[in-house]
Structure 1
Amino acid sequence: MKTGAPSSSIEDYVKVIYSFTEWQDKPITSSQLALRLGVANSSVSEMVRKLKDQGLVDHKPYSAITLTADGVRLALSMVRRHRLIETYLVQELGYSWDEVHDEAELLEHAVSDTFIERMAGKLGNPLRDPHGDPIPAADGTVHMPHAHRMSELDEGHTGRITRISDDNPELLRYLSAQEIDLDADIEVLGRKPFGGALVVRIGSAGADREFDLADEVSSALWVYSESRHAGCRLADV
Protein backbone atom coordinates (compact mmCIF):
# COMPACT_ATOMS: atom_id res chain seq x y z
CA MET A 1 0.00 0.00 0.00
CA LYS A 2 1.39 3.36 -0.91
CA THR A 3 2.36 5.89 1.75
CA GLY A 4 -0.56 8.02 2.88
CA ALA A 5 -3.18 5.56 1.65
CA PRO A 6 -6.07 4.91 4.05
CA SER A 7 -5.86 1.79 6.21
CA SER A 8 -7.95 -1.26 5.39
CA SER A 9 -10.07 -0.52 8.48
CA ILE A 10 -10.92 2.96 7.21
CA GLU A 11 -11.73 1.53 3.79
CA ASP A 12 -14.03 -1.06 5.37
CA TYR A 13 -15.84 1.55 7.45
CA VAL A 14 -16.63 3.92 4.58
CA LYS A 15 -17.69 1.01 2.37
CA VAL A 16 -20.14 -0.28 4.98
CA ILE A 17 -21.54 3.22 5.60
CA TYR A 18 -22.13 3.67 1.86
CA SER A 19 -23.59 0.20 1.33
CA PHE A 20 -26.06 0.66 4.20
CA THR A 21 -27.66 3.67 2.49
CA GLU A 22 -27.36 2.44 -1.09
CA TRP A 23 -30.82 0.86 -1.30
CA GLN A 24 -32.63 2.95 1.32
CA ASP A 25 -32.54 6.51 2.60
CA LYS A 26 -31.94 6.08 6.33
CA PRO A 27 -28.36 6.89 7.44
CA ILE A 28 -26.48 4.39 9.56
CA THR A 29 -26.08 4.73 13.33
CA SER A 30 -23.05 3.78 15.40
CA SER A 31 -24.78 0.69 16.81
CA GLN A 32 -25.80 -0.49 13.34
CA LEU A 33 -22.25 0.08 12.11
CA ALA A 34 -20.87 -1.94 15.02
CA LEU A 35 -23.29 -4.78 14.27
CA ARG A 36 -22.39 -4.91 10.59
CA LEU A 37 -18.66 -4.84 11.25
CA GLY A 38 -18.81 -7.22 14.20
CA VAL A 39 -16.98 -4.86 16.56
CA ALA A 40 -17.72 -3.18 19.89
CA ASN A 41 -19.55 0.13 20.04
CA SER A 42 -16.50 1.70 21.68
CA SER A 43 -14.35 0.69 18.69
CA VAL A 44 -16.85 2.31 16.33
CA SER A 45 -16.86 5.54 18.35
CA GLU A 46 -13.08 5.75 18.17
CA MET A 47 -12.96 5.03 14.44
CA VAL A 48 -15.76 7.48 13.64
CA ARG A 49 -13.78 10.21 15.40
CA LYS A 50 -10.80 9.32 13.24
CA LEU A 51 -12.93 9.36 10.08
CA LYS A 52 -14.31 12.76 11.03
CA ASP A 53 -10.81 14.12 11.66
CA GLN A 54 -9.81 12.95 8.18
CA GLY A 55 -12.83 14.64 6.60
CA LEU A 56 -14.50 11.40 5.54
CA VAL A 57 -17.70 11.56 7.63
CA ASP A 58 -20.02 14.06 9.26
CA HIS A 59 -21.14 13.05 12.74
CA LYS A 60 -22.44 14.63 15.91
CA PRO A 61 -22.90 12.81 19.24
CA TYR A 62 -26.00 10.57 19.34
CA SER A 63 -26.74 11.21 15.66
CA ALA A 64 -26.41 9.17 12.48
CA ILE A 65 -23.21 8.96 10.45
CA THR A 66 -23.01 10.33 6.91
CA LEU A 67 -20.20 10.37 4.38
CA THR A 68 -18.65 13.59 3.11
CA ALA A 69 -17.81 14.01 -0.57
CA ASP A 70 -14.31 12.63 0.13
CA GLY A 71 -15.87 9.74 2.04
CA VAL A 72 -18.19 8.92 -0.84
CA ARG A 73 -15.30 8.99 -3.29
CA LEU A 74 -13.29 6.51 -1.19
CA ALA A 75 -16.35 4.33 -0.56
CA LEU A 76 -17.17 4.10 -4.28
CA SER A 77 -13.60 3.08 -5.02
CA MET A 78 -13.82 0.25 -2.50
CA VAL A 79 -17.29 -0.82 -3.60
CA ARG A 80 -16.03 -0.94 -7.20
CA ARG A 81 -13.09 -3.11 -6.15
CA HIS A 82 -15.23 -5.46 -4.08
CA ARG A 83 -17.92 -6.02 -6.69
CA LEU A 84 -15.54 -6.40 -9.61
CA ILE A 85 -13.63 -9.04 -7.67
CA GLU A 86 -16.88 -10.84 -6.82
CA THR A 87 -17.85 -10.79 -10.49
CA TYR A 88 -14.46 -12.09 -11.57
CA LEU A 89 -14.57 -14.92 -9.03
CA VAL A 90 -17.97 -16.07 -10.33
CA GLN A 91 -17.47 -15.58 -14.05
CA GLU A 92 -13.84 -16.57 -14.45
CA LEU A 93 -13.04 -18.87 -11.50
CA GLY A 94 -16.32 -20.70 -11.03
CA TYR A 95 -17.15 -19.55 -7.51
CA SER A 96 -20.79 -19.74 -6.45
CA TRP A 97 -22.48 -16.47 -5.48
CA ASP A 98 -22.62 -17.41 -1.79
CA GLU A 99 -18.81 -17.90 -1.63
CA VAL A 100 -17.49 -14.66 -3.07
CA HIS A 101 -18.10 -12.04 -0.37
CA ASP A 102 -15.45 -13.18 2.10
CA GLU A 103 -12.88 -13.73 -0.65
CA ALA A 104 -13.51 -10.26 -2.04
CA GLU A 105 -13.16 -8.76 1.45
CA LEU A 106 -9.61 -10.09 1.58
CA LEU A 107 -8.56 -9.33 -1.98
CA GLU A 108 -9.96 -5.80 -2.30
CA HIS A 109 -7.26 -4.38 -0.01
CA ALA A 110 -4.39 -6.28 -1.61
CA VAL A 111 -4.60 -5.55 -5.34
CA SER A 112 -3.52 -2.41 -7.20
CA ASP A 113 -5.64 0.06 -9.12
CA THR A 114 -4.04 -1.20 -12.33
CA PHE A 115 -5.10 -4.76 -11.49
CA ILE A 116 -8.69 -3.64 -10.85
CA GLU A 117 -8.95 -1.72 -14.13
CA ARG A 118 -7.51 -4.63 -16.13
CA MET A 119 -9.95 -6.93 -14.40
CA ALA A 120 -12.80 -4.60 -15.34
CA GLY A 121 -11.64 -4.64 -18.97
CA LYS A 122 -11.39 -8.43 -18.96
CA LEU A 123 -14.98 -8.63 -17.71
CA GLY A 124 -16.25 -6.11 -20.27
CA ASN A 125 -16.82 -3.35 -17.69
CA PRO A 126 -19.92 -4.90 -16.10
CA LEU A 127 -22.58 -2.68 -14.54
CA ARG A 128 -23.58 -5.08 -11.76
CA ASP A 129 -22.14 -7.85 -9.62
CA PRO A 130 -23.47 -11.44 -9.28
CA HIS A 131 -26.09 -10.29 -6.75
CA GLY A 132 -27.35 -7.40 -8.88
CA ASP A 133 -25.65 -4.62 -6.91
CA PRO A 134 -24.40 -1.83 -9.22
CA ILE A 135 -20.67 -1.61 -9.88
CA PRO A 136 -19.56 2.04 -9.79
CA ALA A 137 -17.65 3.18 -12.86
CA ALA A 138 -14.10 4.47 -12.48
CA ASP A 139 -15.42 8.05 -12.66
CA GLY A 140 -17.90 7.53 -9.81
CA THR A 141 -21.00 7.04 -11.95
CA VAL A 142 -23.47 4.57 -10.47
CA HIS A 143 -26.41 3.15 -12.44
CA MET A 144 -29.15 2.40 -9.90
CA PRO A 145 -32.25 0.51 -11.04
CA HIS A 146 -35.58 1.75 -9.67
CA ALA A 147 -36.42 -1.32 -7.65
CA HIS A 148 -38.48 -2.23 -4.59
CA ARG A 149 -38.34 -5.03 -2.07
CA MET A 150 -40.62 -7.84 -3.16
CA SER A 151 -42.11 -7.92 0.35
CA GLU A 152 -43.46 -4.38 -0.16
CA LEU A 153 -45.24 -5.05 -3.46
CA ASP A 154 -49.02 -5.24 -3.88
CA GLU A 155 -51.00 -8.07 -5.39
CA GLY A 156 -50.84 -7.99 -9.20
CA HIS A 157 -47.44 -6.27 -9.36
CA THR A 158 -45.19 -7.62 -12.10
CA GLY A 159 -41.52 -7.09 -12.88
CA ARG A 160 -38.23 -8.94 -12.76
CA ILE A 161 -35.73 -9.66 -10.03
CA THR A 162 -32.94 -7.12 -10.29
CA ARG A 163 -31.12 -7.53 -6.98
CA ILE A 164 -30.71 -10.25 -4.35
CA SER A 165 -29.23 -9.27 -0.99
CA ASP A 166 -26.01 -11.12 -0.20
CA ASP A 167 -26.25 -10.66 3.57
CA ASN A 168 -27.10 -14.32 4.22
CA PRO A 169 -25.12 -17.02 2.37
CA GLU A 170 -27.61 -19.71 3.47
CA LEU A 171 -30.43 -17.78 1.84
CA LEU A 172 -28.39 -17.48 -1.37
CA ARG A 173 -27.88 -21.25 -1.38
CA TYR A 174 -31.63 -21.74 -0.87
CA LEU A 175 -32.47 -19.45 -3.78
CA SER A 176 -29.92 -21.20 -5.98
CA ALA A 177 -31.44 -24.58 -5.15
CA GLN A 178 -34.88 -23.20 -6.05
CA GLU A 179 -33.46 -21.72 -9.27
CA ILE A 180 -34.55 -18.22 -8.27
CA ASP A 181 -32.03 -15.88 -9.90
CA LEU A 182 -31.50 -12.40 -11.29
CA ASP A 183 -33.70 -11.31 -14.21
CA ALA A 184 -36.41 -13.88 -13.49
CA ASP A 185 -39.92 -12.53 -14.20
CA ILE A 186 -42.21 -12.27 -11.18
CA GLU A 187 -45.87 -11.63 -10.46
CA VAL A 188 -47.22 -11.07 -6.95
CA LEU A 189 -50.32 -13.22 -6.49
CA GLY A 190 -51.18 -12.22 -2.94
CA ARG A 191 -50.41 -13.09 0.66
CA LYS A 192 -51.53 -15.98 2.81
CA PRO A 193 -54.04 -15.02 5.55
CA PHE A 194 -53.02 -13.64 8.95
CA GLY A 195 -49.68 -12.26 7.89
CA GLY A 196 -48.62 -15.43 6.10
CA ALA A 197 -46.19 -15.98 3.25
CA LEU A 198 -46.13 -13.88 0.09
CA VAL A 199 -47.36 -15.92 -2.87
CA VAL A 200 -45.55 -15.16 -6.12
CA ARG A 201 -45.20 -16.61 -9.59
CA ILE A 202 -41.60 -16.67 -10.77
CA GLY A 203 -40.59 -17.46 -14.34
CA SER A 204 -37.13 -18.82 -15.08
CA ALA A 205 -35.89 -20.53 -18.27
CA GLY A 206 -39.40 -20.48 -19.73
CA ALA A 207 -41.04 -22.22 -16.77
CA ASP A 208 -43.39 -20.45 -14.33
CA ARG A 209 -43.64 -21.74 -10.77
CA GLU A 210 -45.50 -20.54 -7.70
CA PHE A 211 -43.70 -19.97 -4.41
CA ASP A 212 -44.80 -19.18 -0.89
CA LEU A 213 -42.01 -16.90 0.30
CA ALA A 214 -41.36 -16.07 3.94
CA ASP A 215 -40.68 -12.44 4.77
CA GLU A 216 -36.95 -13.09 5.17
CA VAL A 217 -36.83 -14.33 1.58
CA SER A 218 -39.12 -11.77 -0.05
CA SER A 219 -37.31 -8.94 1.77
CA ALA A 220 -34.02 -10.06 0.21
CA LEU A 221 -35.39 -9.85 -3.36
CA TRP A 222 -35.64 -6.54 -5.20
CA VAL A 223 -37.92 -6.16 -8.20
CA TYR A 224 -37.58 -3.82 -11.16
CA SER A 225 -40.77 -2.75 -12.92
CA GLU A 226 -40.53 -2.37 -16.69
CA SER A 227 -42.67 0.78 -16.55
CA ARG A 228 -39.94 2.56 -14.60
CA HIS A 229 -36.54 3.64 -15.85
CA ALA A 230 -33.08 3.09 -14.49
CA GLY A 231 -31.48 5.97 -12.65
CA CYS A 232 -27.94 7.24 -12.80
CA ARG A 233 -26.08 9.30 -10.30
CA LEU A 234 -22.58 10.70 -10.14
CA ALA A 235 -20.71 10.89 -6.87
CA ASP A 236 -20.22 14.42 -5.61
CA VAL A 237 -16.52 14.61 -6.31
Structure 2
Amino acid sequence: MFSSGRESAHEDYLKTIYAYTEWQDDPITPSVLAGRLGLAPSTVTEMVKKLAAAGLVSHVRYGAISLTEEGRMRALAVVRRHRIVETWLVREMGYAWDEVHDEAEVLEHSISDRLLEAISARMGHPTADPHGDLIPDAAGHVVRPETRTVAAAGVGAEGPIVRIRDRDPRVLRQLAENRLGPGSIIRVEALTPLPVLAAGDARVELPEGAAEAIWIGELARSGGKSEI
Protein backbone atom coordinates (compact mmCIF):
# COMPACT_ATOMS: atom_id res chain seq x y z
CA MET A 1 0.00 0.00 0.00
CA PHE A 2 1.42 3.36 -1.03
CA SER A 3 -0.12 6.34 0.77
CA SER A 4 -0.40 9.92 -0.39
CA GLY A 5 0.54 12.71 2.00
CA ARG A 6 -3.08 13.21 3.04
CA GLU A 7 -3.68 9.48 3.53
CA SER A 8 -0.47 9.24 5.57
CA ALA A 9 -1.72 12.01 7.86
CA HIS A 10 -5.06 10.22 8.26
CA GLU A 11 -3.24 6.99 9.08
CA ASP A 12 -1.08 8.69 11.71
CA TYR A 13 -4.19 10.03 13.47
CA LEU A 14 -6.02 6.71 13.34
CA LYS A 15 -2.99 4.77 14.54
CA THR A 16 -2.47 7.16 17.46
CA ILE A 17 -6.11 6.96 18.52
CA TYR A 18 -6.01 3.17 18.38
CA ALA A 19 -2.69 2.89 20.23
CA TYR A 20 -3.88 5.13 23.08
CA THR A 21 -6.69 2.74 24.01
CA GLU A 22 -4.92 -0.49 23.08
CA TRP A 23 -3.63 -1.25 26.58
CA GLN A 24 -6.08 0.75 28.68
CA ASP A 25 -9.74 1.72 28.40
CA ASP A 26 -9.76 5.50 28.89
CA PRO A 27 -10.79 7.27 25.63
CA ILE A 28 -8.49 9.79 24.01
CA THR A 29 -9.39 13.49 24.07
CA PRO A 30 -8.45 16.08 21.44
CA SER A 31 -5.91 17.69 23.79
CA VAL A 32 -4.20 14.36 24.47
CA LEU A 33 -4.22 13.52 20.77
CA ALA A 34 -2.59 16.88 20.00
CA GLY A 35 0.10 16.17 22.58
CA ARG A 36 0.79 12.69 21.22
CA LEU A 37 1.10 14.01 17.67
CA GLY A 38 3.03 17.13 18.63
CA LEU A 39 0.52 19.38 16.85
CA ALA A 40 -1.47 22.47 17.75
CA PRO A 41 -4.95 21.73 19.17
CA SER A 42 -6.55 23.76 16.39
CA THR A 43 -4.83 21.60 13.75
CA VAL A 44 -6.03 18.44 15.44
CA THR A 45 -9.58 19.78 15.74
CA GLU A 46 -9.76 20.41 12.01
CA MET A 47 -8.40 16.98 11.13
CA VAL A 48 -10.78 15.24 13.53
CA LYS A 49 -13.66 17.00 11.79
CA LYS A 50 -12.41 15.66 8.44
CA LEU A 51 -12.02 12.14 9.83
CA ALA A 52 -15.53 12.29 11.28
CA ALA A 53 -16.93 13.47 7.93
CA ALA A 54 -15.18 10.52 6.28
CA GLY A 55 -16.82 8.12 8.72
CA LEU A 56 -13.55 7.13 10.40
CA VAL A 57 -14.07 8.57 13.90
CA SER A 58 -16.91 9.55 16.19
CA HIS A 59 -16.50 12.76 18.12
CA VAL A 60 -18.72 15.02 20.22
CA ARG A 61 -17.47 18.58 20.52
CA TYR A 62 -15.07 18.89 23.47
CA GLY A 63 -15.53 15.16 24.12
CA ALA A 64 -13.54 12.02 23.55
CA ILE A 65 -12.67 10.65 20.13
CA SER A 66 -13.40 7.04 19.19
CA LEU A 67 -12.83 5.03 16.04
CA THR A 68 -15.73 3.80 13.95
CA GLU A 69 -15.52 0.22 12.73
CA GLU A 70 -14.11 1.44 9.41
CA GLY A 71 -11.64 3.67 11.24
CA ARG A 72 -10.59 0.81 13.48
CA MET A 73 -9.89 -1.46 10.51
CA ARG A 74 -7.84 1.29 8.85
CA ALA A 75 -5.92 1.80 12.09
CA LEU A 76 -5.26 -1.92 12.49
CA ALA A 77 -3.88 -2.11 8.95
CA VAL A 78 -1.31 0.63 9.56
CA VAL A 79 -0.48 -0.75 13.01
CA ARG A 80 0.19 -4.12 11.38
CA ARG A 81 2.52 -2.54 8.81
CA HIS A 82 4.38 -0.52 11.46
CA ARG A 83 4.97 -3.46 13.78
CA ILE A 84 5.97 -5.93 11.09
CA VAL A 85 8.51 -3.41 9.82
CA GLU A 86 9.87 -2.88 13.36
CA THR A 87 10.19 -6.63 13.85
CA TRP A 88 11.94 -7.05 10.49
CA LEU A 89 14.39 -4.23 11.24
CA VAL A 90 15.39 -5.84 14.55
CA ARG A 91 15.45 -9.47 13.46
CA GLU A 92 17.02 -9.17 10.05
CA MET A 93 18.53 -5.72 9.60
CA GLY A 94 20.55 -5.41 12.79
CA TYR A 95 18.67 -2.50 14.37
CA ALA A 96 18.39 -2.16 18.14
CA TRP A 97 14.83 -2.05 19.48
CA ASP A 98 15.18 1.60 20.51
CA GLU A 99 16.15 2.59 16.93
CA VAL A 100 13.27 1.22 14.87
CA HIS A 101 10.29 3.48 15.63
CA ASP A 102 11.23 6.42 13.40
CA GLU A 103 12.26 4.14 10.51
CA ALA A 104 8.94 2.28 10.74
CA GLU A 105 7.04 5.57 10.80
CA VAL A 106 8.37 6.27 7.31
CA LEU A 107 8.21 2.78 5.84
CA GLU A 108 4.70 2.01 7.06
CA HIS A 109 3.30 4.48 4.52
CA SER A 110 5.31 3.29 1.54
CA ILE A 111 5.67 -0.48 1.78
CA SER A 112 3.41 -2.48 -0.54
CA ASP A 113 1.01 -5.09 0.81
CA ARG A 114 2.77 -7.77 -1.23
CA LEU A 115 6.18 -6.98 0.25
CA LEU A 116 4.71 -6.67 3.74
CA GLU A 117 3.15 -10.13 3.57
CA ALA A 118 6.35 -11.60 2.15
CA ILE A 119 8.33 -10.14 5.06
CA SER A 120 5.77 -11.44 7.55
CA ALA A 121 5.88 -14.93 6.01
CA ARG A 122 9.69 -14.97 6.03
CA MET A 123 9.63 -14.26 9.78
CA GLY A 124 6.98 -16.92 10.47
CA HIS A 125 4.09 -14.44 10.83
CA PRO A 126 5.08 -12.93 14.21
CA THR A 127 2.25 -12.00 16.58
CA ALA A 128 4.13 -9.33 18.54
CA ASP A 129 6.86 -6.81 17.74
CA PRO A 130 10.16 -6.53 19.68
CA HIS A 131 8.50 -4.35 22.34
CA GLY A 132 5.66 -6.81 22.91
CA ASP A 133 3.07 -4.76 21.04
CA LEU A 134 0.59 -7.05 19.33
CA ILE A 135 0.63 -7.46 15.54
CA PRO A 136 -2.90 -7.78 14.12
CA ASP A 137 -3.29 -10.53 11.55
CA ALA A 138 -4.11 -9.75 7.93
CA ALA A 139 -7.84 -9.78 8.75
CA GLY A 140 -7.40 -7.31 11.61
CA HIS A 141 -7.83 -9.81 14.44
CA VAL A 142 -5.96 -9.15 17.66
CA VAL A 143 -6.48 -10.36 21.24
CA ARG A 144 -5.12 -8.32 24.14
CA PRO A 145 -3.86 -10.43 27.06
CA GLU A 146 -4.58 -9.58 30.68
CA THR A 147 -1.78 -7.27 31.80
CA ARG A 148 -1.06 -4.43 34.20
CA THR A 149 1.67 -1.84 34.43
CA VAL A 150 4.44 -2.26 36.95
CA ALA A 151 3.07 0.84 38.70
CA ALA A 152 -0.40 -0.70 38.98
CA ALA A 153 0.98 -4.10 40.01
CA GLY A 154 2.85 -2.63 42.98
CA VAL A 155 5.85 -3.64 45.02
CA GLY A 156 6.16 -7.40 45.39
CA ALA A 157 4.36 -8.23 42.15
CA GLU A 158 6.00 -10.85 39.98
CA GLY A 159 5.37 -11.96 36.42
CA PRO A 160 6.61 -11.97 32.83
CA ILE A 161 7.17 -8.72 30.97
CA VAL A 162 4.50 -8.57 28.27
CA ARG A 163 5.05 -5.19 26.70
CA ILE A 164 7.32 -2.13 26.97
CA ARG A 165 6.12 1.21 25.63
CA ASP A 166 8.64 2.41 23.06
CA ARG A 167 8.31 6.16 23.68
CA ASP A 168 11.36 6.37 25.99
CA PRO A 169 14.56 4.98 24.42
CA ARG A 170 16.33 5.20 27.80
CA VAL A 171 14.08 2.51 29.27
CA LEU A 172 14.56 0.26 26.24
CA ARG A 173 18.34 0.65 26.30
CA GLN A 174 18.59 -0.04 30.02
CA LEU A 175 16.41 -3.14 29.78
CA ALA A 176 18.44 -4.38 26.80
CA GLU A 177 21.69 -3.84 28.70
CA ASN A 178 20.32 -6.17 31.37
CA ARG A 179 18.99 -8.65 28.79
CA LEU A 180 15.39 -8.06 29.79
CA GLY A 181 12.46 -7.92 27.39
CA PRO A 182 9.08 -9.54 26.68
CA GLY A 183 9.03 -12.95 28.35
CA SER A 184 11.52 -12.07 31.08
CA ILE A 185 10.29 -12.91 34.60
CA ILE A 186 10.69 -9.92 36.91
CA ARG A 187 9.77 -8.95 40.45
CA VAL A 188 8.93 -5.37 41.47
CA GLU A 189 11.37 -4.45 44.24
CA ALA A 190 10.59 -0.72 44.53
CA LEU A 191 8.64 2.07 42.86
CA THR A 192 10.07 5.13 44.64
CA PRO A 193 12.19 7.13 44.35
CA LEU A 194 12.90 5.13 41.17
CA PRO A 195 11.47 1.81 40.00
CA VAL A 196 13.65 -1.21 40.74
CA LEU A 197 13.06 -4.60 39.10
CA ALA A 198 14.67 -7.88 40.06
CA ALA A 199 15.32 -10.71 37.62
CA GLY A 200 16.93 -13.69 39.29
CA ASP A 201 19.78 -12.33 41.38
CA ALA A 202 20.06 -9.11 39.35
CA ARG A 203 18.47 -5.80 40.38
CA VAL A 204 17.86 -3.07 37.80
CA GLU A 205 17.10 0.55 38.68
CA LEU A 206 15.18 2.24 35.87
CA PRO A 207 14.50 5.88 34.97
CA GLU A 208 11.58 7.84 36.36
CA GLY A 209 8.37 6.92 34.55
CA ALA A 210 9.47 3.39 33.66
CA ALA A 211 6.90 1.86 36.02
CA GLU A 212 4.15 3.22 33.75
CA ALA A 213 5.94 2.02 30.61
CA ILE A 214 6.28 -1.69 31.42
CA TRP A 215 3.35 -4.14 31.41
CA ILE A 216 3.53 -7.52 33.16
CA GLY A 217 1.30 -10.57 33.05
CA GLU A 218 0.48 -13.35 35.46
CA LEU A 219 3.33 -15.54 36.64
CA ALA A 220 3.26 -18.89 34.85
CA ARG A 221 4.60 -22.17 36.19
CA SER A 222 7.70 -21.82 34.07
CA GLY A 223 9.25 -19.04 32.07
CA GLY A 224 12.39 -17.86 30.43
CA LYS A 225 14.33 -14.73 29.78
CA SER A 226 14.21 -13.18 26.37
CA GLU A 227 17.37 -11.89 24.78
CA ILE A 228 17.39 -8.61 22.96
TM-score, normalised via structure 1 length? 0.86
Query: What is the correspondence of 1:68-87 to structure 2 with a 5 Å cutoff?
Result: 68-87=68-87
Counterpart residue number, 1:197: 194
Counterpart residue number, 1:169: 169
Q: Secondary structure at the match of 2:142?
A: strand
Aligned CA distance change for structure 1 residues 3 and 221 (closer, same or farther; 3 Å): closer
Unaligned runs of 5+ in 2: 221-228
Counterpart residue number, 1:96: 96
Aligned length: 220
Q: Secondary structure at the match of 1:136?
A: coil
Match of residue 226, structure 1, among 198, 216, 219: 219
Aligned CA distance change for structure 1 residues 100 and 53 (closer, same or farther; 3 Å): same
What letter is aligned with 1:216? G
Aligned CA distance change for structure 1 residues 190 and 53 (closer, same or farther; 3 Å): same
Cα displacement string for residues 126-184 of structure 1 (whole angstroms, at most 9, x for unaligned residues): 01000000000011111322111011113432211111110112321222223332211
Unaligned runs of 5+ in 1: 228-237
Counterpart residue number, 2:123: 123
Q: Which moved more, 1:2-11 or 1:59-68?
A: 2-11
Counterpart residue number, 2:67: 67
Counterpart residue number, 2:21: 21
Counterpart residue number, 2:112: 112
Q: Secondary structure at the match of 1:201?
A: strand
TM-score, normalised via structure 2 length? 0.89
Q: Secondary structure at the match of 1:140?
A: coil
Q: Secondary structure at the match of 2:215?
A: strand
The CA distance in 2 between the partners of 1:139 and 1:226, in whole Å, is: 31
Counterpart residue number, 2:132: 132
Cα pair 1:73 1:140 within 8 Å, conserved:
yes
Structure 1 residue 100, shift from structure 2 partner: 0.4
Aligned CA distance change for structure 1 residues 142 and 6 (closer, same or farther; 3 Å): farther
Counterpart residue number, 1:209: 202
Q: Secondary structure at the match of 2:159?
A: strand
Structure 1 residue 5, shift from structure 2 partner: 10
The CA distance in 2 between the partners of 1:129 and 1:42, in whole Å, is: 33
Q: Alignment RMSD, CA only? A: 2.1
Structure with more strand by fraction: 1
